[in-house]
Amino acid sequence: MKKYGLLLTGVMGLISHQATAISIVFDYSYDSSGFFADTQRVSLLNAAGNALGSRLQDNLGAITPGGVNTFDASFINPGTGSTATINNYNVLDNTLVIYVGGRDLGSTLGIGGSGGFSAGGTQSFIDSLNRGQTGVDLTPPTDFGPWGGSISFNSTANWYFDTDLSTDADIVGNDFYSVALHELGHVLGLGTAGSWNTWVNSTDATFTGNLSTLAFGSAVPLYSDLSHWNTGTMSTVDGVAQEAAMDPNLTTGTRKLFTKLDYTGLGDVGWEVSAVPVPAAVWLFGSGLLGLLHFGRRNRKS
Ligand SMILES: [Zn+2]
């Protein structure tokens, strides 16, 4: 008996000291238009998910309904725009599930946000809904632990699906990889989480999160929707200047990676952001917030 207890302690210690990443898993079951019936598009989306998930070191707990414990996940159906609900939804640890699809979004390139839920059951089950991110339950919230969410891509946009992400020299049209990163940012809480709103000063439209303020040099000006950095906000990628990914626009023919400021935004929302990608402990194939956020098209003249 005692030996068994010691063994368990040792295993738990090992797990808690292991750097892990978050597995971002995409689900295509609501892609009624067949936008992702193309392996290149799936490959690019997975690359975007891995780029961000590999930088997140949080330990997200599982949500396991059963018996008196219920967990009904709701999200925007990416194929229709209406609300979808899945009853008794199981959430795996260290995993986010994102429902993706395409539909006509008019002049908007993508819409992304975290999912919501309704739940009931024992107190310990209710306590597990923050996925171990205790700051979710503070007032105001200082952390974020969604189960996942959904992203819709505009099925009528003039997309560029890159076959070689190592260069952005040949982009024509709207870079899908850039928009995927931006919408993933919304699913991860940028512009959508309660812990994002904690740092929004609506009086002067600035974001006052500590990490972002330090990176930017002052409180960060926000776009009028208070869910994006202001249009044209600059930061850096590996020391090279680039317009931030989470401003509202993407210039046709260009790529935007996540900048230092975009990552500090994730940190201010509550994510434990690694300076370099970390390996996943497990790669499994396996939001009360609904952010209806746009990614407007900017047409460069000439
Ligand atoms: Zn956006």
264-280 pLDDT, tens digit per residue, is: 999 999 999 998 887 65
* Helix 39-53 × helix 176-187 angle, to 10°: 50
Reply yes or no on whether the pLDDT at 195 is more than 70: yes
Span from the CA of 259 to the centroid of ligand 1 (angstroms): 15
Residues 6+ apart with CB under 8 A from 169: none
Kindly calculate the radius of gyration of the chain based on its CA atoms and give it in whole angstroms: 19
| Rounded average pLDDT over 254-259 | 98
Which range among 68-82, 83-97, 243-257, 274-288 shows the weakest confidence by mean pLDDT? 274-288
Reply yes or no on whether the pLDDT at 182 is more than 60: yes
Span from the CA of 279 to the centroid of ligand 1 (angstroms): 28
Span from the CA of 250 to the centroid of ligand 1 (angstroms): 10
Span from the CA of 20 to the centroid of ligand 1 (angstroms): 27
Q: What pLDDT is recorded for position 280?
A: 55
Q: What pLDDT is recorded for position 275?
A: 87
Q: Give the end-to-end CA distance of the chain in Å, rounded to a whole number.
A: 76
Higher local confidence (pLDDT), 15 or 240 = 240
In 3D, which of 162, 169, 159, 49 has the Cα closest to residue 97? 49
- Pairing relation of β-strands 148-154 and 110-114? antiparallel
Task: Return residues with CB closer than 5 A to ligand 1 (ion).
Answer: 293, 295
Span from the CA of 151 to the centroid of ligand 1 (angstroms): 11
Q: What pLDDT is recorded for position 278?
A: 78
| Structure confidence by residue, pLDDT tens digits, 125-152 | 999 999 999 999 999 999 999 999 999 9
Span from the CA of 282 to the centroid of ligand 1 (angstroms): 30
| Rounded average pLDDT over 210-239 | 98
Q: What pLDDT is recorded for position 6?
A: 34
Residues 6+ apart with CB under 8 A from 45: 26, 36, 100, 180
